[in-house]
Structure 1
């Protein structure tokens, strides 16, 4: 473990965004991160939840190697058009609207809006972190927004905080963030019958001990034990706090950007962009080490 003195000597500069979350990390090449630099990055990630590294020149293997510093990696998920990953590297998920020479998409999620969500929260043990690396970006649109679930919880009125504690929310597994039905799932209009998993509505971050809302996504969510109308009303009230502009930050992408976010305490969404423009991103996902805990 690096000492405070060695951390100060790394040359890394952490510049907070000024928003409720997020910081830019400067002065580091992610291809050659040493132990002291990684400790500095890890501490900044725990403090700010989302980190931006600009001007990186990462090969697929470089991105995988840096991502593995945070834990074991998931394979690319099966999305609306199957499993899209870099050939020979199943950990490297391709997010893109581009069509290949065969006329088939090279990636997933197209060019539409991706609604507010937490990655794969419908699983019993969701991933703890995700990274997205920009290879090609459109001239406008496609920006990614992040919301702090620590700040969302902290800004709840006291009575609403008390009501939320101890409740369990069902995280729906019917639709992905682009609104597409997941492979093998038959949609239903009743969130109580939809596939998914129950998690605490208020969780404790395993590394920092801070409390946070854990909402996942709004569509087809259900609060266990309530009648449907009461669940819908409570979720609407919670969501009215969860994505307020004052607890959000947006990254306007540049080629060479890598963004790392803590999937346990943030939500994110994507703006739509012109279907005729090209957007090619590589994403990795770090496996969760434990289920979300109250």
Structure 2
């Protein structure tokens, strides 16, 4: 299906922050190869893309997402459900309760702390998309931080120190602090489930250096005493989550945000639990483990 007009009509408007751009003039239900090339190049350049005013079915969302690669199936939610009936690629992020009194989605109305999606896996996903169906009148903003900018701004001695080190990425809890299904809880980072990844990685498509931190809880650096590991991680996290390298998105219904899971971290503000927030997410499988 063709696009409604030439790709020259597409406008990529940077946020002015260390990452992020709004892509205007695009209907994501009608993306051909030429338009996708423009979108993909903008994504690599800005790490996070915003598309406003979309009107997507779950099938539309899945079809656009698949242009970036094979999709992951949605993880098991806290209520034991895995996915939308007939749509295993769709993960619902919501605080809404269904007619049966059970949550229709995951993560509730609380804060979601800084993290990279599913970095505890040997081969984490490369991209995520979040599509807004219902949003609260206040709160629930999503913040993104550039791990390219975080690395580039490291002081020289700290930059030298982190090269060659690996961090363990914990798989015990999700970003809302909920215990993952089937996991026995532990707060000892040396024994918790997870996977080692380099602290400094190269982006597999652009070659740019970046920090790869994942999430702070239960993280540790291989080969260091726990107190030294904690001190170094605290220093890196303080540096990598500074407002100067982040951008905050205030949602409207019909917004779709696409982010590079390899080169960014994100978090969510809490919101009034009496308000409704319904988002549908897809996730693109990683094609290689994070590499130095």
TM-score above 0.5: yes
Unpaired stretches in structure 1, ≥5 consecutive residues: 1-7
Pair 1:9–1:278, CA change in 2 (3 A): closer
**Which residue among 199, 203, 217 is the counterpart of 1:201?**
199
Q: Report the count of equivalent residues.
A: 287
- Mapped partners of 1:87, 1:146: distance in 2: 30
Post-superposition CA distance 1:4-32 (Å, at most 9, x none): xxxx8431100000000000000010000
Distance (Å, rounded) in 1 between the aligned partners of 2:41 and 2:123: 23
Are residues 1:272 and 2:270 paired? Answer: yes
Instruction: Report the secondary structure of 2:236's partner residue.
Output: helix
Which residue is equivalent to 1:248? 246
* RMSD, aligned CA: 0.9
Aligned 8 A contact 1:152 1:247 in 2:
yes
Of the three residues 213, 216, 238, the one matched with 2:214 is: 216
Q: CA deviation at 1:86?
A: 2.2
Compute the displacement of 1:183 (Å).
Answer: 1.2
Question: For the Cα contact (< 8 Å) 1:85–1:107, is it kept in 2?
Answer: no
Q: Report the counterpart of residue 3 of structure 2 in structure 1.
A: none
Q: What do residues 132-185 of structure 1 show as CA deviations (whole Å, max 9, x unaligned)?
A: 000000010000000000000001001101100000000000100000111111
Q: 1:5 maps to which residue?
A: none
Looking at structure 1, the residues matched to 82 and 204 of structure 2 have their Cα atoms a distance apart, in angstroms, of 31
How many angstroms apart in 1 are the aligned matches of 2:98 and 2:78? 16
- Whether 1:175 and 2:173 are equivalent positions in the alignment is yes
CA distance in 2, matches of 1:177, 1:193: 19
- Which residue number corresponds to residue 236 of structure 2? 238
Structure 1 match to 2:69: 71
Deviations 1:184-215 (A, max 9, x none): 11122210111000000000000000000000
* Aligned counterpart, 1:3: none
Instruction: Give the distance between the partners of 2:120 and 2:80, measured in 1 at CA.
Output: 18
Structure 1 equivalent of residue 54 of structure 2? 56
Say which SS state the counterpart of residue 185 (structure 2) adopts.
coil
Which among 136, 139, 143 is matched to residue 138 of structure 1? 136
**Structure 2 SS opposite 1:101:** coil
- TM-score using structure 2 length: 0.97
Structure 2 residue 279 is the aligned partner of structure 1 residue 281? yes
Q: Which runs of 5+ in 2 are unaligned?
A: 1-5
Give 1:35 shift: 1.2
Instruction: Give, in whole Å, the separation in 2 of the partners of 1:31 and 1:10.
Output: 18
Q: Is the 8 A contact 2:78 2:178 kept in 1?
A: yes
Question: Which residue does 1:163 correspond to in 2?
Answer: 161
Distance 2:99 2:232 in 1: 48
Offset from partner CA, 1:231-279 (integer Å, 9 cap, x none)? 0000001011101001000110000000000000000000000111000
SS of aligned partner of 2:8: coil
Secondary structure of 2:287's match? coil
TM-superposed deviation, 1:81: 2.0
